[in-house]
């Protein structure tokens, strides 16, 4: 089975809320809420991929020094196995805008379970609650 490396980010604002993004219609798992991020390209580090994805998906800029690894998810989907490190980012430039998602929401960590999420994202919630 193929292992797909995908990187995710919990952007945390000054009020200790986390940004989640809704997957758009036409994409796999459409309508579900997820942490922003995406696939790591061949030869790319997870941190470089996350900086690129945050720029493409949300229009924000950050630096590798602002990304702190927190935990990871390991989940088997039907056609592949997903390995997804989650980074926490508290410092970035710009205001997040949904370039590739249908909506964005700032949510308190304890409320994240109120939003339907892909199975791989669910185990990431508890470590975030413990941190924040």
Work out the mean pLDDT of the chain and round it to a whole number. 97
Short-list 89, 101, 90, CA closest to 38: 101
Q: What residues make up the domain containing 82?
A: 3-131
Share of the chain above pLDDT 70, in %: 100
Q: What is the mean pLDDT of residues 70-98?
A: 97
pLDDT at 63 over 90: yes
pTM of the model: 0.95
Q: Residue 38 sits in a domain of what CATH number? A: 3.90.79.10
pLDDT at 58 over 90: yes
Question: Tens digits of per-residue pLDDT, 10-21?
Answer: 999 999 999 999
Q: What is the mean pLDDT of residues 52-65?
A: 98
Short-list 94, 67, 93, CA closest to 8: 67
Question: What CA–CA distances, in Å, run from 16 to 82, 88, 114, 129, 132?
Answer: 27, 11, 17, 10, 6
pLDDT at 1 over 90: no
Count up the domains in the chain and report the number. Answer: 1
Neighbours of 105 (CB within 10 A): 15
């Amino acid at each position: 089975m193929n292992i797909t490396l995908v990187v995710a980010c919990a952007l945390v604002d000054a009020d200790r809320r986390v940004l989640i993004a809704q997957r758009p219609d036409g994409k796999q798992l459409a309508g579900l809420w997820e942490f922003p991020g995406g696939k790591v390209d061949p030869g790319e580090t997870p941190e470089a991929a996350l900086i690129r994805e945050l720029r493409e998906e949300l229009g924000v800029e950050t630096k590798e020094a602002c990304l702190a690894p927190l935990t990871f998810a390991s989940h088997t989907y039907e056609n592949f196995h997903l390995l997804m490190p989650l980074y926490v980012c508290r410092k970035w430039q710009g205001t997040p805008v949904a370039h590739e998602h249908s909506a964005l929401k700032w949510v308190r960590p304890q409320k994240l379970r109120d939003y339907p999420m892909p199975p791989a994202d669910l185990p990431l919630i508890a470590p975030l609650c413990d941190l924040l």
